[in-house]
Amino acid sequence: MSFPWARQYEPKNGLTKFLDEKLPLPRLVYGAIGAGYPVPRNLSYMWNFGVLAGFCLVLQIVTGVVLAMHYAPNALVAFGTTEHIMRDVNWGWMMRYAHANGASFFFIVVYLHIFRGFFYSSYKAPREMIWLLGVVIFLLMMATAFMGYVLPWGQMSFWGAKVITGLFGAIPIVGEPIQVWLLGGFAPDNAALNRFFSLHFLLPFVIAGVVILHIWALHIPGSSNPTGVEIKTEADTVPFHPYYTAKDGFGLGIFLLLFCTMVFFLPNYLGHPDNYIEANPLSTPAHIVPEWYFWPFYAILRAFTVDFFFVPAKLMGVLAMFAAILVWFFLPWLDKSPVRSGHYRPLFRKFFWFGLIPTMAVLFYCGGAPAEEPFVMLSQLATAYYFLHFLVILPLVSSIEKPEPLPYSITEAVLGSDKKAVLGENTTPAV
């Protein structure tokens, strides 16, 4: 870590001294999430979601590995083994419900994490790389969740796979061969189910790898904070342990309370009844919807109903859906305001709360609604505003806005005054 006042790890007994020489793993942990990692003293609960997302990843890997012990990725028996897990395997129902709801909670936590990033501009220098890696993690999560949903081989599994791989068919010329290649057949079948299982098992570990890079990149500048003012002195920080291990632990408790409520009392609330009907290639469910966490992007996909010059509507929808996430990669350079926190940006704040957030809510709702009026029109308006926000409003706001005065330091923001600020002492920010 970069701050000179960070506490150094000191092995105390023979064993830790031995370890520290041969494999300094305790030193790594101490410096990364222990007392050796100084963190801004003013982090709010919005800073809990990184740790919670990490917890969700572990939860999904543990329950997923357990489920894989009882599940068979074969189109003839996949649906049956899923029911076998639910009815016959000891605690199988709990493992599966925890895994299915765990995916939803993973997305809830990650969406809040991203939302935090939007409001506090966590993507700005010097933290661009953390943000870029985060977007990569999100894309990997979407792929993993999509393939996982196919595995129970119910009606929604099958038709979800068909519709989503059908998106690639929208690409001119090479689209259809790509679709057939992805599925290993002309429609989702055993080949597709097998490869989705294989990749669904692999990708979480790829995510874990990128998460390590994400945390590594975070530890170079250190965490941002609600004021967006960088750390100046030791007084601005507290050690991660015990301060934030305790705060994150409390957050984890709340999280588990909500999670267990869903798993034990409303396990199918976020699912679709159609997925308890075995996949039938000859009959489409009346209303195909993806899982709730894809709704905003599904709404963007369906918002394009007319051809745009020579680009067919279907391809436009696909491009827009991918662009909706890829635009996040450019955020650090689209939002040029030097002020990070939304608390000190009056104009940005208005567009955030009254523009972006309602837009996301509309997209979310329309994505789960049937494709009829007024939802199509609403999706179109919301999609237009979504891109307008990132590509026009953000750059414009950052150039015309007059930010409110920032506190001198984190300490001043917390205590109301900072001795160093009063004395006018010039402290160089430690980087």
Partner 1 sequence: MADTTGTATPETLAVHGEDGVRRRDFINIAAVSFAGVGAVAVVLPLVSQMAPSADVLAESSTEIDVGSIEAGQAIKAVFRKQPLFVRRLTPAEISQADKVDASSLRDPQTLAERTKEGHLDMLVTMGVCTHLGCVPLGAAEGENRGEFGGYFCPCHGSHYDTAARIRKGPAPTNLVVPDYEFTSDTVIRVG
Q: Which residues are annotated as a binding site?
A: 99, 113, 200, 214, 219
Question: Which positions ≥6 away from 361 have C-beta within 8 Å?
Answer: none
Q: Are 32 and 215 in contact (CB under 8 A)?
A: yes
Distance, CA of 82 to CA of 67 (rounded, Å): 9
391 binds partner 1 (CB under 8 A): no
Residue range at the interface with partner 1 (CB under 8 A); choices 28-36, 48-56, 85-93, 186-194: 186-194
The whole-angstrom separation of Cα 129 and Cα 218 is 8
Regarding 74 and contact with partner 1 (CB under 8 A), the answer is no
Q: Which of helix, strand or coil describes residue 196?
A: helix
Q: Candidates 112-120, 128-136, 286-294, 396-404: pick the segment binding partner 1 (CB under 8 A).
A: 286-294
Options 162, 214, 272, 340; binder of partner 1; rule CB under 8 A: 162
Report the distance separating Cα 98 and Cα 58, nearest Å.
Answer: 12
Q: Is 284 in the site for partner 1 (CB under 8 A)?
A: yes
**Which of 14, 87, 173, 372 is the binder for partner 1 (CB under 8 A)?**
372
- Say if CB 404 and CB 410 are below 8 A apart: no
Distance CA 337, CA 403 (A): 9
Candidates 371, 388, 406, 421: give the one binding partner 1 (CB under 8 A).
371
Please report how the helices 49-68 and 190-219 are oriented relative to each other, as an axis angle in degrees rounded to 10: 150
Q: How far apart are CA 25 and CA 317, in angstroms?
A: 48
Contact 82, 71 (CB under 8 A): yes
Q: In what helix (H) or strand (E) does residue 423 lie, and over which residues does it extend?
A: helix 419-423
Query: Which C-beta is closer to partner 1: that of 268 or that of 280?
Result: 280
Footprint on residues 122-161 left by partner 1 (CB under 8 A): 159
Q: How far apart are CA 362 and CA 343, in angstroms?
A: 25
Within residues 309-348, the interface with partner 1 by CB under 8 A covers 312-314
Query: Which residue in 282, 309, 405, 426 binds partner 1 (CB under 8 A)?
Result: 282
Choosing from 288, 300, 320, 339, the residue that interacts with partner 1 (CB under 8 A) is: 288
Q: Out of 57, 109, 137, 182, which residue is the one contacting partner 1 (CB under 8 A)?
A: 182
User: Which residue number, 173 or 400, has a Cβ lying nearer to partner 1?
Assistant: 173
Q: Which of 162, 247, 272, 389 is catalytic?
A: 247
Could you write out the DSSP letters of every residue in 133-191?
Answer: HHHHHHHHHHHHHHHHHHTT-BHHHHHHHHHHHHHHTTSTTTHHHHHHHHHTSSSS-HH
Cα–Cα distance for residue pair 245/37, rounded to 1 Å: 11
Instruction: Tell me: does residue 206 bind partner 1 (CB under 8 A).
Output: no
Instruction: Based on the shown chain and the rule CB under 8 A, indicate whether residue 268 belongs to the binding site for partner 1.
Output: no
CB of 164 to partner 1, least distance (A): 9
Give whichever of 109 and 183 is closer to partner 1, judged by the CB atom: 183
Q: Is 167 in the site for partner 1 (CB under 8 A)?
A: yes
Q: Which of the following is catalytic: 121, 162, 236, 248?
A: 248
Task: Give dist(CA 406, CA 413) in Å, integer.
Answer: 9
Indicate the annotated binding residues for a ubiquinone: 219
Cβ-contact 122, 224 below 8 angstroms: yes
DSSP β-bridge partners for residue 38: 239
CB of 284 to partner 1, least distance (A): 4
Among 8, 253, 269, 286, binds partner 1 (CB under 8 A): 286
Considering the complex, what minimum distance in angstroms separates the CB of residue 18 from partner 1? 41
Is-catalytic flag, 307? no
Q: How far is the CB of 143 from partner 1 (least distance, A)?
A: 15
- Residue 223 known to be catalytic: yes
Task: Please state the separation of Cα 424 from the chain's center in Å.
Answer: 42
Shortest distance, position 389 Cβ to partner 1, whole Å: 26
| CA dihedral angle for residue 364, residue 367, residue 371, residue 374, rounded to 10 degrees | 10
Q: Which of 104, 122, 157, 223 is catalytic?
A: 223
Residues that bind partner 1 (CB under 8 A): 159, 162-163, 166-167, 169, 180-182, 184-187, 189, 191, 195, 281-284, 286-288, 302, 305, 307, 312-314, 371-372
Residues with a known catalytic role:
219, 223, 247-248, 291
